[in-house]
Amino acid sequence: MLYTSVLRPLFFRLDPEAAHDLALRGASLLARSRLACRAVERVVARPAPRPVTAMGLHFPNPVGLAGGMDKNGVAPLAWWAFGFGFVELGTVTPVGQPGNPAPRMFRYPNDAALVNRMGFNNAGADALAARLAEQTARHLRPPFPVGISIGKNKETPPERAADDFARAASVVQPHADFLTVNVSSPNTPGLRLLQNAAEVGRIVRAVRAVAGGKPVLVKLAPELYGDDLLAALDAALSEGVAGVIATNTLSTATMTGYETGGLSGGPLRALAATRVAQVRDHVGDGPTVIGCGGVAGGPDAQALLDVGADLVQIYTALVYEGPLLPAAITRYLRPRARTVGPSRPRG
């Protein structure tokens, strides 16, 4: 209530990226104090315990922060304080890069949607690794799984993409509980072409070779469907991925009425649920499936879990509903301790 009636109108007077930067600065300030984070978690957010075990990791609840919000890992402990059950930092590239020129983030309040064409603006894998090492040394590491999303630099030619993914992975893996191969952003030219089976297989193999045994996931675009989706999944599975994230943003390239970029939030909800169901249907019980796209409340999250997701992630709805949304979602979810793995009973 405080967020939607007071803070959101103030934030929405700012340019979307400026509002994002301000929110991130606030979160990073909070993340500097273990005591303050514990107080926010216990007194303000009050997430319900909804434990999930997946990929050999323990998640206090299945609601995660999606890739792209905290690309440089400035506030992991704050995301725990707000009630999230895990976070995915990044996407980081081997070398830091500025991303696309601004403006590059746009709100569509009538759709509860965003369009972004950030283009992997990030400080680079080395900077992220250094920051996370410092947080660990200062006992500011959150008590939940921290994933790191990796990507390729804009200037790297497609034939050397796997090298970029492997370079970024080898630098950040000591600080990650899992790694995500992001081949699905619409804002890096040619990236989505890497979703063909041969490239997915090559990249996953290169990343797993340097991942230090950490689980590796692949994040796919919502436009990938049918035989192409199944081929990408088969290639990823045969190279030993631990899971799949469905989905990234929807490209607006062929749409009217939206800026060019990736569309997220409300308009993605139904399609994301469809893809989650298709992915679960194809991969079977073993691999972890993370549902992402348009989750704006408890019913949306429960719907993704019901069609086969083990975990869910949110980004856009945080902008519209505020930072306590994840905790509210956990209180809505049906309690269900699930163990994901070959021995998990179906149903």
Ligand X SMILES: Cc1cc2nc3c(=O)[nH]c(=O)nc-3n(C[C@H](O)[C@H](O)[C@H](O)COP(=O)(O)O)c2cc1C
Catalog residues that contact ligand X under the rule CB under 6 A: 66-68, 71, 91, 105, 114, 116, 118, 120, 149, 182, 185, 219, 248-249, 264-265, 268, 292-295, 314-317
Q: Which residues face 95 on adjacent strands? A: none
Active-site residue, selected from the candidate residues 149, 185, 251, 264: 185
How near is the Cβ of 229 to ligand X at its closest, in Å?
A: 16
CA atoms of 37 and 79, how far apart (whole Å): 9
What is the separation, in whole angstroms, between the first and last Cα of the chain?
37
- Residue 296: name the closest of 267, 338, 334 by CA: 267
**Would you say 53 and 340 are in contact if contact means Cβ atoms under 8 Å apart?**
yes
CA atoms of 6 and 252, how far apart (whole Å): 31
Choose between 24 and 39: whose C-beta lies nearer to ligand X: 24
CA atoms of 220 and 1, how far apart (whole Å): 34
How near is the Cβ of 286 to ligand X at its closest, in Å?
A: 23
Using CB atoms, what's the residue nearest to ligand X?
A: 68
Q: What are phi and psi of 244, to 5 degrees?
A: -135, 140
CA-CA-CA-CA torsion sign (53, 57, 59, 60): positive
Choose between 18 and 53: whose C-beta lies nearer to ligand X: 18
Choose between 50 and 219: whose C-beta lies nearer to ligand X: 219
How near is the Cβ of 134 to ligand X at its closest, in Å?
A: 22
- Residue 91: in which H helix or E strand, if any? strand 86-92
- The question of whether 170 is a catalytic residue gets the answer no
Q: What are phi and psi of 225, to 5 degrees?
A: -150, 175
How near is the Cβ of 49 to ligand X at its closest, in Å?
A: 23
Q: CA 96, 100, 101, 107: dihedral to nearest 10 degrees?
A: -120
Choose between 176 and 284: whose C-beta lies nearer to ligand X: 176
Choose between 135 and 264: whose C-beta lies nearer to ligand X: 264
Fill in the DSSP letter of residue 94: S
- Residue 100: name the closest of 226, 283, 261 by CA: 261
Helix axes 125-137, 161-172, angle to 10 degrees: 10
Fill in the DSSP letter of residue 6: I
CA atoms of 92 and 254, how far apart (whole Å): 27
How near is the Cβ of 91 to ligand X at its closest, in Å?
A: 4
How near is the Cβ of 20 to ligand X at its closest, in Å?
A: 7
Choose between 14 and 138: whose C-beta lies nearer to ligand X: 14
Could you give the residue numbers annotated as active site? 185
